[in-house]
Chain A
Amino acid sequence: MVRQPISRLTRPRFAAWLLVLPLFLFSAATFVVPIVMMLARSVQDPELSRAFPQTARLVAQWDGRDLPPAAVMNSFIAELRAARGTEGLSFAANRLNSEISGFRSMLLRTARTLPAAPLDDPAAALARIDPRWGERSTWAAMRRASGPLTDGFLLAALDRQRNDDGAIVRVPEERAVFVSVLIRTLWISAAVTAFCLVLGYPVAYLIASLPAKIANPLLVLVLIPFWTSVLVRTTAWVVLLQRDGLVNGLLQRLGFTDQPLALIYNRTGVLIAMVHVLLPLMVLPLYSVMKGIGRAPMLAAMSLGARPFEAFVRVYLPQSAAGIGAGCLLVFISALGYYVTPELVGGGGDQMISYFIAFYTNRTTNWGLAGALSLILLLATGLLYVAYARLSRSSAASA
């Protein structure tokens, strides 16, 4: 008697899981696995040990003082000869080049010019090809890259590096860029979120209070920037915001300013363009929450003696908090990943962290550093999300 209903209940659930399976497999294959692999790269360091397995093992054992012993040099020379013309050599050269600029060409040239005959004095022979082989920092770089795991990329993503003695130090000031980029990324995202909230809240309130016949076309208007291609939008902003653009022309004609303002190719342009693109992500959750609140709470509060402002602050605003939270989270997290817009309408100091992730992924194929930057961005986002979840839960509990 009891059994039958239970099996009847569970069987469709099993079928439902089966139906979800393709999507699950799809997202695992196209989303989860690549992300995990990308993040794993931030600590993997396989190139050197693949091209020079024995040398990598030996150089890792070297105490780091003076120059490595002859055994290391001999093994290196032997393995370099063997690696000549292989792809592995190029990967190792790329890896070492990100430790010391110029290492790539030095290594490839050394591989080309290394005499075939056995060498009596390997250190001297190498130093003859390039004096940098006689420097301790060259071998220290190889030791850092000997793998199979490294903290070098994560350190680099935080503007830190290991010096030749293996201690963690700051990178030279003229190269320290990632921490300030991360802060800048968070700051721009926060500013965009704040502007979106200030601009989007009244819009959502207006649309939520209008009858559907008027509200629906307005919602479509809100969504249009979302559906427009980045390129078209950006071009439109250039036309509007440039020196002789429409906005400057209008401001000058109205007498607000007598010189054209710099509205684009700087932070202002980035904020304007990003707010424009991300505004729908703020308006839509706000709208859906406000639609659920309706008119009654405000009317009730006023009938109970609250002036409109107090009624809004004490009754409406807290009830729309879920929409504010969702909207801010959506905008903020989307903004963190932006790079096309800042690249096209920003100035030299407006690049966000995704720009560098794309740069190291596509241009220089330093995927370790790209992975490390992604990991830092992911961690920062995750931390903020946890903080938000805590905050909203505790405020829901206390309010």
Chain B
Amino acid sequence: MTDRFVVFDGVTKTFAGGVHAVRDLNLDIARGEFVTFLGPSGSGKTTSLMMLAGFETPSAGSILLDGRPLDRLPPYHRGIGMVFQSYALFPHMTVAENIAFPLTVRRRAKAEIEDAVKQALDLVQLSAMGGRRPAQLSGGQQQRVALARALVFKPSLVLMDEPLGALDRQLRERMQIEIKHIHARLGVTLVYVTHDQGEALTMSDRIAVFRDGGLQQVGTPGEVYERPLTSFVAQFVGESNQFGGTLGDAAGMVELDGGWRMPATLAHSIAAGARTTVSIRPERIRISRDDGAPATVQELIYHGDHMRVVMRLESGHAVFAKLLTGAVPDWVRHGAQVRVSWDGRDARALDALPNHRTEEKLR
């Protein structure tokens, strides 16, 4: 990375009682980039964001913004726009006053403020709503006000903490696109926190997957989805079939538990004889009548655009596939005997999941 706009340098946060919220976080974010912190709750993603915003102080390490260490800079001097999960709109101010707030605290001229507020309202398509109070707006409109307020003072960095969590699915998807467009238009650097992997895949330039206070993988949505580095990422981002086994040789032949061998691509170097988890995306599973391992169709689940086919291999392993609804052959029926296959490069040998249980994953 040539342009290091935001730098997390060995950042650790320990809370009272010795709980490590974030452990040795190293991450660079480029100017203009849209980076998503993805992870389950308690993974350290929000704490990292709060440290960047200035509401938490790192216990060790430092954070740099545009080359400046932020250690001693209070939040109100960082010039970072932030959108909160609850929007945190000021209920006693109108929409326009809310948006004007960051400019009035900066003592900008009145005319300038009016101009900027109007532009911001236009940007989020709320031009007619300036005189209303937040309580008179819908959830989606409130969300846009929060967005406009965080952008109006032209910060070079904007943070968003699960900003769409309270919206219904349709609105959420529309706002995802809208935020992405605004990001593209303004060229602002955006750090976005979510636990929704779909959101992360849709919006981000890069995704940083958090788990237990540490980074699991950083990469583009395509990298993270197609080439997960850990079995956690494979499981958390998208869906996958996962089989426990032992690596047979360096070429990638895996001895699966239950006595079955299959070729797999090594995500990183794993010693021969070590435990591993093989992960295959369901859409990479091929079903045919004559090619591959024999299996019995146990269940067909209709999902509208696609169909989920749950099968059991002779080895006892369960495996599921996703097929486009129109592309399911009529012989794939409940109880039918089929054969299942996949490319060796679609099967990724990853770190071993502790207590690996394939059965559970299926349910």
Contacts and interface: CB of A to CB of B under 8 A. Distances in A.
Does a CB–CB distance below 8 Å link A and B in the complex?
yes
Contact of A303 (B80, B91, B92, B93): B80
A297 B82 contact: no
Interface string A287-316: 000000010110111111111101100110
B75 A302 contact: yes
A296 B80 contact: no
B36 to A, nearest CB: 19
A396 B133 CA distance: 11
A136 to B, nearest CB: 66
A303 B90 contact: no
A301 B149 CA distance: 10
Contact of B90 (A297, A302, A307, A396): A297
A399 B93 contact: yes
Nearest to B50: A299
Given A297-B88, A299-B88, A319-B90, A306 B80 contact: no
Interface in B134-191: 149-150, 153, 159
Interface string A315-326: 100110100000
Given A296-B86, A297-B88, A303 B81 contact: yes
A299 B84 contact: yes
A319 B90 CA distance: 8
B81 to A, nearest CB: 7
Given A318-B92, A399-B92, A300 B84 contact: yes
Given A299-B84, A304-B149, A315 B90 contact: yes
A301 B101 contact: yes
A311 B105 CA distance: 9
B73 to A, nearest CB: 12
A310 B105 CA distance: 8
Contact of B76 (A294, A297, A307): A307
A338 B247 CA distance: 84
B86 A303 contact: no
Contacts of A307: 76, 105
Nearest to B53: A303
B102 interface: yes
A303 B82 contact: yes
B162 to A, nearest CB: 12
Lowest 3 CB-CB distances: which A-B pairs, in order? Answer: A300-B88, A304-B102, A296-B88
17 contacts: A297-B88, A297-B90, A303-B53, A303-B80, A303-B82, A303-B159, A304-B76, A304-B150, A304-B153, A305-B79, A305-B153, A306-B101, A307-B105, A315-B90, A319-B92, A396-B92, A399-B92
Contacts of B101: 301, 304, 306, 314
A304 to B, nearest CB: 4
A115 B337 CA distance: 131
Interface in A354-399: 396, 399
Most chain A CB within 10 A, of B54, B105, B150, is at: B105
B106 interface: yes
Interface string B71-110: 0001111111110101010111100000001100110000
A353 to B, nearest CB: 36
B260 interface: no
Nearest to B106: A305
B90 A305 contact: no
B93 to A, nearest CB: 7
A238 B86 CA distance: 50
A296 B105 contact: no
A300 B159 CA distance: 11
A299 B55 contact: yes
A315 B102 CA distance: 12
B323 to A, nearest CB: 45
B86 A302 contact: no
A205 B193 CA distance: 29
Nearest to A311: B76
Nearest to B85: A296
Contacts of B53: 299, 303
Contacts of A308: 76
B49 to A, nearest CB: 11
Interface string B27-61: 00000000000000000000000000111000000
A300 B105 contact: no
Contacts of A299: 53, 55, 75, 82, 84, 88
Nearest to A307: B76
A38 to B, nearest CB: 41
Contacts of A399: 92-93
Contacts of A321: 92
Contacts of A314: 101, 105
Nearest to A396: B92
A310 B101 CA distance: 11
A96 to B, nearest CB: 59
B146 to A, nearest CB: 8
B153 A300 contact: no
A226 B93 CA distance: 36
Contact of A305 (B84, B86, B91, B105): B105
A315 B80 CA distance: 19
B102 to A, nearest CB: 4
